[in-house]
């Protein structure tokens, strides 16, 4: 028996009062019939005409863009970027909001996720409700911090560079990205054509003058001769193995944090905001308060950012174990921390490697998991190690809240939470939560 195709509501317009912000860069509104809309390009309290961009008659909710502002919020500004708006670039979510309002909205999202998923008020989470801007990012309304040190450009069918539209593979061709760091913009990637190339990732290290581009050719595509406006290393993604290969120049960039230099190879993970690594190291170390002789774990350790900071602080009688799944990241971490013989880096998934180590106790733990979070089983294992303090670095407040609930079930409670706006103009936000076992709260 065939089911009848559902009627698409894309293009349908509704006049709505806009409600609270929701996780994901949009606000919630309801039509007169009660249907839920997730509306982008609007702000709480506005009255707008919302045009549906995704959804059918039977959908639980519809996605929409505010295409006309009937009653504007006092927090609204004219979007500084000409490529921001309905149907255009999807890279930013809040170009139309004052910087202080963006941080308030992010704070509201964190508070809502903590309450809904962890049953915690801000006070119970040890959080004052503020989202702190990075140093140098506190700019007047209408000005945009140029913070993004890594930008992945999509290339359209004609070879022009741009960024993808929201929830789409379509490319919005641009001549400049306002949030791109100066080291990215000065390469001039948008000025030239990229025939036979699918994506160009540009990396401008904030800890050195290193610049790198990573090219992904279209299937069967040939690599062009790359001539950009500044000296740059060139890498390519192999069509068969999908691995990053060196074409010319250094296969890594050098970053700086906590007075150490870190090698980051093959486009590996490093915080995108120039101030992020130092900001997060400071928050984690202040929260953990490492002591000489501590046994510390750095889980999902990447190229060794927190392992290096811990290794400096636990002293010669201390020990640090880092665990990371990425092979190249592990090679970089071992290189970066070779002067600290008290630090050991193991490769593999945390949930598989940690049990194999037979470690049955730790003094302090830092974890910086991917967006999906840690999960119940790993939380249970970590809680069994009896650490006096755990620092959880989270780029997704929903995953953080879920894991905080699991930690609470295992006898750990969050005693301090800090939030940082390390992704201005977008809905993303970074949090650092410090947990302690309930029995040691006194």
Query: In Å, how far are 131, 196, 279, 425 from 165, measured between CA atoms?
Result: 27, 21, 31, 15
The answer to whether 266 is a known ligand-binding residue is no
Mean pLDDT, the chain cut into blocks of 10 residues (442 residues total):
77 98 97 96 98 95 98 97 97 96 98 98 98 90 91 97 97 98 97 96 95 95 88 92 92 96 93 97 98 98 98 97 96 98 97 95 97 96 98 98 98 98 98 91 44
The answer to whether 300 is a known ligand-binding residue is yes
pTM confidence score: 0.95
Q: Which long-range contacts (CB under 8 A, 24 or more apart) does 341-344 make?
A: 342/311, 342/314, 342/315, 342/316, 342/318, 343/304, 343/307, 343/308, 343/310, 343/311, 343/319, 344/319, 344/320
Among 160, 254, 242, residue whose Cα is nearest residue 203: 254
- Tell me, yes or no, if 395 is annotated catalytic: yes
pLDDT in tens, 364-386: 999 999 999 999 999 999 999 99
Query: In Å, how far are 129, 393, 430 from 116, measured between CA atoms?
Result: 16, 20, 19
pLDDT in tens, 8-49: 999 999 999 999 999 999 999 999 999 999 999 999 999 999
pLDDT of residue 139: 85
The answer to whether 112 is a known ligand-binding residue is no
Residue 265: exposed, middle, or buried by beta-carbon count in 10 A (0-12, 13-18, 19+)? buried
pLDDT of residue 141: 78
pLDDT of residue 2: 59
Q: Which residues contact 348 (CB under 8 A, 6 or more apart)?
A: 323, 325
The answer to whether 392 is a known ligand-binding residue is no
Q: Which residues contact 409 (CB under 8 A, 6 or more apart)?
A: none
């Amino acid at each position: 028996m065939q089911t009848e195709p559902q009627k698409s509501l894309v293009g349908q317009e509704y006049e709505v009062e806009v409600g609270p912000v929701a996780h994901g860069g949009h606000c919630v509104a309801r039509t007169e019939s009660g249907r839920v809309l997730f509306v982008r390009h609007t702000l709480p309290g506005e009255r707008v005409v919302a045009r549906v961009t995704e959804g059918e008659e039977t959908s639980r909710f519809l996605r929409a863009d505010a295409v006309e502002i009937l009653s504007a919020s006092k927090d609204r500004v004219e979007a500084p970027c000409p490529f921001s708006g309905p149907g255009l670039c999807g890279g930013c979510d809040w170009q139309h909001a004052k910087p202080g309002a963006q941080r308030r909205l992010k704070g509201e999202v964190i508070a809502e996720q903590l309450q809904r998923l962890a049953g915690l008020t801000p006070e119970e989470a040890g959080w004052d409700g503020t989202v702190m801007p990075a140093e140098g990012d506190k700019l007047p309304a209408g000005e945009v911090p140029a913070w993004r040190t890594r930008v992945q450009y999509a290339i359209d069918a004609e070879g022009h560079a741009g960024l993808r539209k929201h929830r789409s593979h379509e490319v919005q061709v641009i001549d400049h990205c306002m949030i791109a760091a100066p080291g990215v913009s000065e390469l001039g990637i948008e000025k030239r054509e990229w025939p036979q190339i699918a994506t160009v990732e540009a990396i401008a290290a904030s800890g050195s003058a290193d610049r790198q581009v990573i090219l992904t050719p279209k299937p069967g595509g040939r690599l062009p001769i790359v001539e950009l406006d500044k000296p740059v290393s060139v890498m390519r993604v192999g069509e068969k193995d999908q691995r990053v290969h060196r074409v010319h120049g250094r296969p890594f960039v050098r970053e700086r944090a906590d007075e150490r230099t870190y090698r980051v190879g093959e486009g590996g993970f490093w915080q995108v905001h120039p101030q992020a690594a130092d900001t997060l190291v400071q928050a984690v170390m202040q929260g953990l308060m490492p002591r000489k002789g501590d046994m510390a774990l750095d889980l999902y350790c990447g190229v060794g950012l927190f392992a290096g900071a811990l290794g400096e602080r636990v002293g010669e009688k201390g020990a640090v174990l880092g665990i990371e799944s990425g092979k190249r990241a592990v090679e970089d971490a071992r290189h970066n921390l070779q002067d600290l013989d008290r630090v050991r880096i193991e490769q593999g998934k945390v949930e598989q490697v940690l049990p194999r180590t037979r470690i049955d106790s730790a003094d302090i733990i830092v974890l910086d998991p991917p967006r999906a979070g840690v999960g119940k089983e790993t939380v249970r294992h970590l809680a069994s190690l009896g650490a006096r303090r755990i620092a959880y670095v989270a780029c997704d407040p929903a995953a953080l809240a879920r894991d905080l609930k699991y930690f609470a079930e295992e006898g750990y409670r969050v005693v301090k939470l800090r939030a940082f706006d390390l992704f201005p103009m977008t809905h993303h936000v970074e949090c650092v939560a410090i947990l302690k076992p309930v029995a040691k709260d006194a």
